[in-house]
Each structure stands twice: as structure tokens, then as C-alpha cells.
Amino acid sequence: MITQMVWTANARRLFSSATLTDELHHSIIRLRSPAANVLQNWADQGRKINLPQVKRFAYKLVKARRHQHALQVFSWLEGQHKFRMSPSDFAIKLDVIAKVKGLSHAQDYFDTIHNMASQKAASIALLRVYVLERNVLRAETLMVKLTAMGLVLNCHPYNEMMKLYIATAQFVNVLAVISLMKQNKIPLNVLSYNLWITACSEVSGVDSCELVYKEMLIDEKVTVGWTTLSTLANIYVKAGLLQKASHNESVLRLWKASKAVGGKIPCANYICVLSCLVKLGDLSEAEKLFLEWESNCWNYDIRVSNVLLAAYMRNGLMEKAESLHFQTLERGGCPNYKTWEILMEGRIKCKNMEKAVEAMNKCFALIENIKWRPSNNSIMAVAKHFEKCRNYEDAQWLLSRVHHLGFASLPLYKIMIRMHLSNKKSASDILQMMKIDGIEIDDETSNLLQAYQT
């Protein structure tokens, strides 16, 4: 950990300059001590601090996901009498509070904001927090409050509510929101239409989606782009209308139309069209599109290559899959847990268990703080491999990881009990783990334990 003295030296170098240069970007990564203390010490020494520059520094910290330090800087700034927080400052600080301290603290902070413009900006940030938390009741309560205060004046709060309803499978409520927007004469933007189309696909089918799309085409305030076209393509594929999606409303036709719209095409759009082509079984076109993306990308987004990697694995094209994986590493791609999951499952299918275990190790190293977990089939395949090879140590490691993450199963424990029995080791720790996991002993397990005791 960097020392206070070194951090202070860095801070002096940052805040003494007339402008914040690229040195800030590199220094952010090195900062570890409380930012507010350094700023206050600097001010107490009578040294000049350019408050707008400090604000930009806070924004840089947010962008770098250094939320703890960003919150410290924002809090310090808010306490300076000469500095006036803008509405966007309040919104960003509220979002940072939610990330650092949690939802309740974000709500408390929102209640301290009294300026109407600042409340309006911060309300969207708070609503987004509710959406991420999928807290429908609080989001609806906030919308009622904002409406009563006259702060719901554009489509953004409505869009957040529609995203929440889609995330919680309340698709009918999305249609109600659209009706409310029209009643209140709130103009829809592209996202509003896309969410509406998505909800229609779940409530009333493809025909209603096409009606919304036609309404969108005659709305002079919006421009149809790739996000809408790709949303329609996905709906056609999901509905099983492959003929419609692959010919007169083809994915490639939509893709060409989207590129004609202009502007930089984000990776998410490549992911979407690649997924469509893969679902249609057109690997050849998917490969061409992937090469197009790869030749134009500046930063290698592993999510794009994961789509093609998964397609190779599902189709048993192991050599192509392994070659693509090696290629992504050479290009600077950083595999995520999904990459390793795809490789793990493909290698298990091909009985390449040593490489599958290697991929599983990589998975476990990356999933500590996320909700995803490997499939039970994959866990059992590796456990059976360890049992067959009499690899007691690695089996113990697997059980400890699975137990720690909270998704151990009775079949896995049975394998471990058998291995304990064959190695003449006590099974008391296994039984304790089973008790913690709430797994009851069945007749087969009871017989195993009796055999162990005899």
C-alpha cells in the first residue's frame, strides 16, 4: 500500500498545476489514502486549490471506478463554501453513495437535496439505483413523488420504469407506461420505442411489434437505428420466424441498414447480430462479421469473441474454438468467467478433462463477487474425473470451493465420502459441511457411512 507521504507528494504534483494533464489519469491508479484528508491538509497549509479542477478529478475517479475516493472528493467539495454543486454533481454523488454505502444512504442523501433542479437530476440517479436493485415498490413510490412535484418532464424516468418492468417480467406495465406518456404528452425517444417493442413481443406477439415499429417510422422526433433493427431481428428469431428473419427481414439486411445510419457501431451491436447469425446456424457469415469487427476494434472486447467461441463449442468444432481462444489472447483479449465456462463445458464434452479442470480453476478465480455459478453437470463431471483418477487433493479443493460458494449437492458429497472411505480418512468434516449446506443424508449415503464405520 502506498504511504501517506508518497500519496501527498502525488497530490501536490496534481493540484499545483494550472491544468489537469494525463498525469492525473496515471496517478489515479496509485492513489490509496483518504483523498479528503490530503485535500484538507493541502488547504490548511494555505496552498491554492483550483476547485473546478478538483471536481474534474472526482469525475476521473468515478470513471476509473474508484468510487470510495470519488465520494471523499465530492464530500470535501460539498463542504467548501466557495464551491457550488451543479445538478449533475448531485446526481453523480448520489450514484457513488449507492455504490459505496448502499441504497439507504443514497435515499438519505436524496432527502437532503432541496434545490429543484438538483432534485430532478438526482431523482433519475436514485431511480436507476432502484432499477438495478429491481425494487419495484420503491421505484413506483419515487415516481409518484416526482410526478406530484412536477419533476417528471421527459421520457427518461419513464424509460427507467419500463426497464424495471421488463427486468421483473411485468410486461403489461410497460404498455401502461407508454399510455401514460402519451396521455401526458411526453415524447418517446428511441429507447422508449425499443422497450415498447420488447414488451409487445412478450404480451401480444410479433404483429404488435411491427405496428409499434411503423409508428416509430412516422415519428419525426426519432431516427431508427441499429438498436431497433437488431431488437426486431432478435424477436423474429425468438419467435421461430427464421424464414422472416433470414430473408426479406434478414439479419444481414438489418445490419447493412444499421451501418448506413452512420456513427461508430458499439460492440453491443456486433454481439447482437453475431448472436442472431449463430442462432440461424450461419457460422460462415458470423465468422465474416467477427473478422470485420476484429479488424476495426481498438479495445478487444472479449464478449464479442465469446459469442463465436460458444458457437464453435456447441457445434463440436473444438480445434476452431481453441484456435480462436489463442487468437484472442494474442490480440490482448482478457478472458472473463464466461470465456472459461464455455471452454470448460466444451472440453468436458470432448473428454479433455485436464484442460477442463484448468478452465474451471480460472472460472473459480473470477466468480467470487458475481451471482453466476458453474452448472451442476460440469461440477459432477470434474468430480467424477477426480474420483476415477483417485485425485483426492484436487477433489478436496473442488468441494471446498463449491461449498464456499454455496451450491454443493448431495451427489458431490457422495463422491467425496467414497473417496474419504477409500483413503481411510475421517468423514466428519464432510458431514459438517453437509449440515451447514442443509443437505439431508439419504439411504445410499447412510450405507456409505456405515461401511466407513465398519
**Cα–chain-centroid distance for residue 352?**
30
Residue 80 lies in a domain: no
Dihedral sign for Cα 186, 190, 195, 196, please.
positive
Q: How far is CA 431 from CA 49, 421, 422, in A?
A: 62, 13, 16
For residue 454, pLDDT over 60 is answered with: no
pLDDT confidence of residue 299: 83
pLDDT confidence of residue 349: 92
Per-residue pLDDT, averaged over 253-269, amounts to 70
Poorest-confidence range of 134-143, 157-166, 358-367? 358-367
DSSP 423-445: TT---HHHHHHHHHHTPPP-HHH
Residue 439 lies in a domain: yes
pLDDT tens readout for residues 219-258: 999 988 767 877 887 787 777 765 555 543 456 766 776 6
Phi/psi at 381 (5° precision) = -60, -45
Which range, 182-196, 356-370, 410-424, has the best average confidence (pLDDT)? 182-196
Dihedral sign for Cα 260, 261, 263, 268, please.
negative
| Letter string b/e over residues 198-229, b meaning 16 or more CB atoms within 10 A of that residue's CB | bbbbbeeebebbbebbeebeeeeebebbbbbb
For residue 5, pLDDT over 50 is answered with: no
Which range, 23-37, 70-84, 369-383, has the best average confidence (pLDDT)? 369-383
Residue 385 lies in a domain: yes
pLDDT tens readout for residues 173-232: 999 999 999 999 999 999 999 999 999 999 988 899 999 999 999 999 998 876 787 788
DSSP 58-107: HHHHHHTT-HHHHHHHHHHHHT-TT----HHHHHHHHHHHHHHT-HHHHH
pLDDT tens readout for residues 279-325: 777 889 889 999 999 988 888 899 999 999 999 999 999 999 999 99
pLDDT confidence of residue 255: 72
For residue 373, pLDDT over 80 is answered with: no
The span from the CA of 399 to the CA of 239, in Å, is: 41
Specify the 3-state DSSP secondary structure of 143.
Answer: helix
The span from the CA of 399 to the CA of 378, in Å, is: 13
Q: How many CB atoms lie within 10 A of CB 247?
A: 9
For residue 340, pLDDT over 90 is answered with: yes
Specify the 3-state DSSP secondary structure of 265.
Answer: coil
Domain containing 433: what range?
Answer: 379-453
Calculated CA dihedral for residues 42, 47, 53, 57, nearest 10 degrees = -20
Which range, 137-141, 267-271, 275-279, 409-413, has the best average confidence (pLDDT)? 137-141
The span from the CA of 86 to the CA of 423, in Å, is: 68
Confidence of residue 371 (pLDDT cuts 50, 70, 90): low
Confidence of residue 118 (pLDDT cuts 50, 70, 90): confident
Per-residue pLDDT, averaged over 48-70, amounts to 76
The H or E element containing residue 197 is: helix 190-203
Higher model confidence: residue 100 or residue 227? 100
Calculated CA dihedral for residues 279, 285, 287, 292, nearest 10 degrees = -120
For residue 28, pLDDT over 60 is answered with: no
Dihedral sign for Cα 36, 39, 42, 44, please.
negative
What is the rounded average pLDDT for all residues in the chain? 81
Calculate ∠ Cα 121-124-126, nearest 5°. Answer: 110
Residue 446 lies in a domain: yes
For residue 411, pLDDT over 80 is answered with: yes
Poorest-confidence range of 91-95, 111-115, 191-195? 111-115
DSSP 294-344: HHH-SS--HHHHHHHHHHHHHTT-HHHHHHHHHHHHHTT----HHHHHHHH
Residue 235 lies in a domain: no
The span from the CA of 415 to the CA of 423, in Å, is: 12
pLDDT confidence of residue 385: 93
Cell readout for 391 is: 485425485
**Please, are residues 286 and 306 in contact by the beta-carbon 8 Å criterion?**
no
What is the identity of the amino acid at 63? K
**Please, are residues 192 and 155 in contact by the beta-carbon 8 Å criterion?**
yes
Q: What percent of the chain is modeled with pLDDT above 90?
A: 33
Confidence of residue 369 (pLDDT cuts 50, 70, 90): low
Higher model confidence: residue 15 or residue 432? 432
Cell readout for 326 is: 489463442
Cell readout for 426 is: 475421517
Residue 185 lies in a domain: no
pLDDT confidence of residue 145: 87
Residue 238 lies in a domain: no
Confidence of residue 266 (pLDDT cuts 50, 70, 90): confident
pLDDT confidence of residue 139: 93
Poorest-confidence range of 35-39, 52-56, 397-401? 35-39
Residue 337 lies in a domain: no
Cell readout for 417 is: 465420502
Q: How far is CA 133 from CA 23, 138, 207, 237, 352, in A?
A: 36, 10, 32, 30, 40
**Please, are residues 70 and 61 in contact by the beta-carbon 8 Å criterion?**
yes
Domains contained in the chain, number: 1
pLDDT confidence of residue 23: 39
Confidence of residue 355 (pLDDT cuts 50, 70, 90): very high
